[in-house]
Amino acid sequence: MEDSLKLVITSDNHLNRYYDRLPPARLAERRRWLRQGFQAAVEFALDRGAHLFLQAGDLFDTPDPRNAEREYVAREVARLRAHGVAVVGIGGNHDTPKQRTEHGGILPQSVYARLGGLHLLTDGSLPTLTLELAGQHVCIGALPWIPTRLAGEDPLAEVDWRPAGSINLFVFHHSIEGHIYPGANEAIVQRASLDRLAAAQLVVAGHVHEHAYWTTGRQTVVIPGATERLTFGERHTPGFVYVELTPGGVERLEHISVPCQPRRDLALHTWTLQAEGDDLCAAALRHIEAAAAPDLLLRVRLSGPIRREDYRALDLRRLWECGMERAFACEIDTSGLVIEDALGLRMAGGVRVSQREALETSARALMDETDDPAERALLAEALAAVLACYEQGTPA
Ligand SMILES: [Mn+2]
């Protein structure tokens, strides 16, 4: 019986992801959550005696991760190498510089590549690496991420890949028709183009965070998926993939799930809050207190019609502070609030509360409070100056 090639595949680890409005200690804790999935993939590769550890892009969230993250990855890559595991990687849309003038166009992973820690498939049109692994002649080809590719293009359209391995695998970092990132406006690989990679028993596609795989004839296509949920919209189970591969195709494929930090989307409608009798702010605070938990990433989504005076009385900062005190992190989303005007007529749906509107509202309130025409004129002048400054970004 022939040996199968054992490989661990991970993608979209997004190490070093930054979250604004998170205090430093919590940001560090969040980054520990992000490392956890990548760490689990490394441990799994060592436990199973994998021959190959493949990272399919977006290892880092940016082309310039902090040294702490770079050093962490160096340590793990060194452990894999010390145990004889070959490490192969490609860049993704997050960790590849957008242009040559940014970091000289160099990926953060290239430091490990230069020191022999990993093979980074980044140069040329279809860089292909040949390794002797598990008694097989293994060819690994890649389509490097090109930041200038346009939406509507098929990244595989011109690809003509003719590897000579007994086992061939191909890796890229793109959405595939039918498996598209929500709201994607980018180049997408057409299903039919996968025929161009007919020589590959395994095709690996990083980028889409939800794991999927399918097999057509001898070829299996696998989307390893992300190792943590990165946004509130994501419902997938994060993890990585373990594959046993022979010249005849995939013999075994497992998706190993990893824990993710809990998230909760708390939807609060103004009608529900009003029905509770007291003011909106007190009602919203009660809901936030009840929903919060120490580990939780909480998003509070306020929606529904609201009168201007109620909006002014809604202390958003206090809501946010309450969430930050009781949950791990909190964001307050007011984009679903619809301001009703003074005559009780509702404006067209989806009106956003803009800074401009808030400035006008406060100025008008001050003007309403005075009978002195000179003071009103001064307030009007102040408002105009502030708005000019706000809109043009220059001091009036
Ligand atoms: Mn990506």
> What per-residue confidence (pLDDT) applies to 393?
59
Burial call 64-83: b when 16+ CB within 10 Å, e when fewer: ebeeebbebbeebbeebbee
Q: How far is the CA of 23 from the centre of ligand 1 (A)?
A: 26
Q: How far apart are CA 55 and CA 170, in angstroms?
A: 12
Whether 360 and 309 share a structural domain? yes
As a whole number, mean pLDDT of residues 320-327 equals: 96
pLDDT over 70 at 395, yes or no: no
pLDDT over 80 at 351, yes or no: no
pLDDT over 90 at 32, yes or no: yes
Q: How far is the CA of 223 from the centre of ligand 1 (A)?
A: 12
pLDDT over 80 at 137, yes or no: yes
Q: How far is the CA of 235 from the centre of ligand 1 (A)?
A: 17
Q: How far is the CA of 324 from the centre of ligand 1 (A)?
A: 29
When mean pLDDT is compared across 1-5, 135-139, 317-321, the lowest value belongs to 1-5
Q: What is the CA radius of gyration of the chain?
A: 26
Q: How far is the CA of 43 from the centre of ligand 1 (A)?
A: 23
Looking at every residue in the chain, the average pLDDT score rounds to: 91
Whether 222 and 305 share a structural domain? no
Question: 179 and 212 in contact (C-beta within 8 Å)?
Answer: yes
What confidence tens digit (pLDDT) does each residue in 80-119 have? 999 999 999 999 999 999 988 888 899 999 999 999 999 9
Domain stops at, among 257, 290, 312: 257
Whether 288 and 142 share a structural domain? no
As a whole number, mean pLDDT of residues 165-190 equals: 91
What would the 3-class secondary structure string for the chain be? CCCCEEEEEECCCCECCCCCCCCHHHHHHHHHHHHHHHHHHHHHHHHHCCCEEEECCCCECCCCCCHHHHHHHHHHHHHHHHCCCEEEECCCCCCCCCCCCCHHHCCCCHHHHHCCCCEECCCCCCCEEEEEECCEEEEEEEECCCCCCCCCCCCCCCCCCCCCCCEEEEEEECEECCECCCCCCCCEECHHHHHHHCCCCEEEEECCCCCEEEEECCEEEEECCCCCCCCCCCCCCCEEEEEEEECCEEEEEEEEECCCCCEEEEEEEHHHHHHCCCCHHHHHHHHHHHHCCCCCEEEEEEEEEEEHHHHHHCCHHHHHHHHHHHCCEEEEEEEEEEEECCCCCECCCCCCCCHHHHHHHHHHHHHHCCCCHHHHHHHHHHHHHHHHHHHHCCCC
165-to-131, 196, 242 alpha-carbon distances in Å: 9, 16, 21
Whether 25 and 119 share a structural domain? yes
Q: How far is the CA of 13 from the centre of ligand 1 (A)?
A: 9
Whether 165 and 247 share a structural domain? yes
Whether 150 and 91 share a structural domain? yes
More confident residue, 54 or 234: 54
Helix 280-291 / helix 316-326 crossing angle, nearest 10 deg = 20
How confident is residue 215, by pLDDT bands cut at 50, 70 and 90? very high
As a whole number, mean pLDDT of residues 245-262 equals: 96
Which domain does 316 fall in, by range? 263-392
Q: pTM for the full model?
A: 0.83
Q: How far is the CA of 93 from the centre of ligand 1 (A)?
A: 5
> What per-residue confidence (pLDDT) applies to 246?
96
Whether 185 and 290 share a structural domain? no
As a whole number, mean pLDDT of residues 169-198 equals: 91
Q: How far is the CA of 366 from the centre of ligand 1 (A)?
A: 49
Q: How far is the CA of 26 from the centre of ligand 1 (A)?
A: 24
Q: How far is the CA of 268 from the centre of ligand 1 (A)?
A: 32
How confident is residue 368, by pLDDT bands cut at 50, 70 and 90? confident
Q: How far is the CA of 262 from the centre of ligand 1 (A)?
A: 22
Whether 109 and 233 share a structural domain? yes
Whether 157 and 124 share a structural domain? yes
How confident is residue 135, by pLDDT bands cut at 50, 70 and 90? very high
Q: How far is the CA of 206 from the centre of ligand 1 (A)?
A: 7
Domain stops at, among 203, 233, 257: 257
Q: Which residues crowd ion ligand 1, with CB under 5 Å? A: 58, 92-93, 207
Q: How far is the CA of 11 from the centre of ligand 1 (A)?
A: 8
> What per-residue confidence (pLDDT) applies to 348?
52
Q: How far is the CA of 177 from the centre of ligand 1 (A)?
A: 15
Domain stops at, among 199, 230, 257: 257
Q: How far is the CA of 180 from the centre of ligand 1 (A)?
A: 11
Q: How far is the CA of 305 from the centre of ligand 1 (A)?
A: 37
CATH number of the domain bearing residue 185: 3.60.21.10
Whether 186 and 93 share a structural domain? yes
Whether 296 and 231 share a structural domain? no
Look up residue 184 and give its amino acid.
A
Whether 183 and 302 share a structural domain? no
Highest-confidence range of 175-189, 299-313, 365-379, 380-394, by mean pLDDT?
299-313
> What per-residue confidence (pLDDT) applies to 396?
40
The total number of structural domains in the chain stands at 2
Q: How far is the CA of 58 from the centre of ligand 1 (A)?
A: 6
> What per-residue confidence (pLDDT) applies to 233?
82
More confident residue, 270 or 358: 270
Q: How far is the CA of 62 from the centre of ligand 1 (A)?
A: 11
> What are the structure tokens assigned to 69, written together?
């993250």
